[in-house]
Amino acid sequence: AAMEIFRVASVNAAIERKLAIIRETYTALHDEAAAARAELLEIAVVLLIIAEVVVSLRH
């Protein structure tokens, strides 16, 4: 009776849907941030290699 009054099942389903959306959004943002960090590291490695080549050519 009380569960029917408060519509616990429908509220629970709505909360689960919203949590699923939040999880998907978090995963997408986390993956995007990880890709950006990986790209930054790749650029740093390339710049360090170029710097090493330039320094070795000067000597």
Say what the pLDDT of residue 7 is.
Answer: 79
Rounded-to-integer distance, Cα 59 and Cα 55, Å? 7
Q: Flag whether the pTM goes above 0.85.
A: no
* More reliable by pLDDT, 2 or 26: 26
* Sequence-distant (≥ 6) Cβ neighbours of residue 8 within 8 angstroms: none
Residue 20 C-alpha from the chain's centroid: 15
Give the DSSP per-residue string, the chain: -HHHHHTHHHHHHHHHHHHHHHHHHHHHHHHHHHHHHHHHHHHHHHHHHHHHHHHHHH-
Per residue in 3-59, pLDDT (tens digit) is 676 678 888 899 999 999 999 999 999 999 999 999 999 999 999 999 999 999 997
Asked if 9 contacts 3 with a C-beta cutoff of 8 angstroms, the reply is yes
